[in-house]
Copies of this chain bind each other. A is one copy, B any other.
Amino acid sequence: MQFELQILGSASATPMTGRHPTAQLLAVGEGRYLIDCGEGTQWRLLEHRRRLSSLRVIFISHLHGDHYFGLFGLLGTLHLQGRQEPLLIVGPPGLDLVLTTQAMHSGVQYGFNLTFVPVDTEAHALVYEDALVRVSTLPMRHRVPCCGYLFEEQPRRDRLVKESLPPGLSPAELAQLAQGHDLPANPATGRPALAHAAVSTPAAPPRRYAFCSDTLYTPALAELVRGADLLYHEATFLEELRERAAQTHHSTAAQAAELACAAGVGLLLIGHFSSRYKQLTAHLAEAQAIFPNTELATEGLVVAV
């Protein structure tokens, strides 16, 4: 099953040409999840030929403009496109009021059901679940209430190994095995008890993606994202501006790498680059010196987990 992330924006708040504010698209099977929605996100989705109509849920980390100002326009376009499927927005309290005030004065009545799920940005809690993913908040430390999100694939079923199955199993017995249950002995056919584990290959563990939005370097996060296959962590600054990072409640590339190291993740993506850095090679070098398996979350990058 597909588990793929695309970076739609790599910039921090001050705009620059060629970089756009934070937005990411996570594809898990048929599910499409938008993570943050900076100004212009709908054009990024168009450029990358992603159908806006496929979006299922939008997760917003915090109410700084570079993380949600694209939401107004995106919702308007979904309405113009005639969307009827419900849409869920998960984000910090207050976002609903901002959206409602705007929609009221536009004279727009969305043709689809828009549900808002306010989250406690200071908790690590399950906030969304469907047949494909479970999503929990990750508390960030920023200048306004802010959280990241941990996306965890729903557990996959162990695969039955045909060659290990005894002959003559009924459809009901096969179904039980497929669902992970052991079979008791069957006196009618004389078949002995059959352990699920003996006839199946264990499924790969659920894949996990941790999105760590704007935050002061917070070592305690390592515990919450331990072993994630993919970690995105902001790296607004380089170490040379470590103090500035702390003042503005942001992180450096080295700090992002330290967290990746402590958490033992598979791959680290760094992003949310300050516009003062025209080149990003120093960011990559600084992070890779600590955590070699680091990549830059550049515009349009696709990472398949």
**Interface-facing stretch out of A91-99, A164-172, A213-221:** A91-99
Pair B144/A107 contact, Cβ less than 8 Å: yes
Pair A102/B107 contact, Cβ less than 8 Å: no
A-B contact pairs, 9 of them (CB 8 A): A14-B80, A17-B47, A39-B69, A39-B73, A40-B40, A63-B105, A64-B106, A65-B72, A94-B105
Question: B-contacting residues of A (Cβ < 8 Å)?
Answer: 13-17, 20, 39-40, 42-43, 46-47, 63-66, 69-70, 72-73, 76-77, 80-81, 94-95, 97-98, 101-102, 104-107, 143-144
Q: Shortest Cβ distance from A132 into chain B, in angstroms?
A: 28
The residue in chain B whose Cβ has the minimal distance to the Cβ of A12 is B80
Chain B residues within 8 Å of A105, by CB? 63, 94-95, 97-98
Contact pick for A13, options B70, B80, B102, CB 8 Å? B80
Pair A16/B65 contact, Cβ less than 8 Å: no
Chain B residues within 8 Å of A76, by CB? 13, 65-66, 69
Q: Shortest Cβ distance from A298 into chain B, in angstroms?
A: 17
Contacts A17-B43, A69-B76, A94-B105 known; 18 new A-B pairs at CB < 8 A: A13-B76, A13-B77, A13-B80, A15-B46, A15-B77, A17-B46, A20-B43, A40-B40, A40-B43, A63-B107, A65-B73, A65-B102, A65-B106, A66-B73, A95-B105, A98-B105, A101-B102, A107-B144
Chain B residues within 8 Å of A97, by CB? 101, 105
Closest 5 CB pairs of A and B: A94-B105, A107-B144, A39-B73, A65-B76, A101-B101
The residue in chain B whose Cβ has the minimal distance to the Cβ of A102 is B98
Chain B residues within 8 Å of A39, by CB? 39-40, 42, 69-70, 72-73
